[in-house]
């Protein structure tokens, strides 16, 4: 397929995992803070994180196809990948952990999970910013 198709597809599908991971972080944090609604907020956060993981697979696949299957690149593309690959790994890892634990973690383990989620959001933000720079050629 035409690389332009993959570039447009990548630009479209990346918005979903970005929004879902930030939403998951918000609801998981609210669940940690509001003990009375922890179950409800946690369920929403879990679903959003699962959707972020699925969306991240689509974003990575379309990004690799757009880049002719080169996982690194150079210059701005390399900068983008240095944010995107760790973001992908952390989103998938967090979603896997959340599915495995299913709300049966200690408070300390959940706090570590939230800390990793915050790092993931920072990396996702960096990937989005560097992707915009790449698109605009700056």
- Which tens digit of pLDDT belongs to each residue from 120-135? 999 999 999 999 998 8
Dihedral sign for Cα 136, 89, 19, 115, please.
negative
Residue with tokens 């993981």: 53
Q: Give me the pLDDT at residue 53, please.
A: 96
3-state DSSP helix/strand/coil percent for the chain, to nearest 5? 85, 0, 15
- pLDDT at residue 26 tops 80: yes
Tokens of 23: 């939403």
Q: What percent of the chain has pLDDT over 90?
A: 80
The predicted pLDDT at position 88 comes to 97
What pLDDT score does 105 carry?
87
**Domain boundary assignment for the chain:** 3-136
Q: What is the pLDDT of residues 88-116, one digit of tens each?
A: 999 999 999 999 998 788 989 999 999 99
Confidence of residue 59 (pLDDT cuts 50, 70, 90): very high
Confirm if 84 and 55 have CB atoms less than 8 A apart.
no
Residue 87 has pLDDT above 80, yes or no: yes
């Amino acid at each position: 397929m035409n690389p332009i198709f993959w570039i447009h597809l990548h630009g479209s599908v990346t918005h979903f995992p970005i929004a879902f991971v930030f939403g998951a972080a918000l609801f998981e944090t609210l669940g940690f803070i509001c003990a009375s609604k922890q179950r409800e907020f946690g369920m929403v956060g879990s679903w959003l994180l699962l959707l972020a993981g699925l969306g991240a697979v689509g974003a990575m696949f379309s990004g690799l196809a757009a880049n002719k299957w080169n996982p690194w690149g150079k210059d701005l593309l390399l900068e983008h990948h240095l944010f995107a690959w760790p973001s992908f790994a952390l989103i998938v890892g967090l979603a896997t952990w959340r599915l495995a634990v299913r709300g049966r973690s200690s408070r300390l383990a959940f706090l570590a999970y939230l800390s990793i989620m915050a790092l993931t959001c920072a990396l996702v933000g960096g990937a989005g910013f560097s992707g915009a720079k790449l698109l605009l050629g700056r």
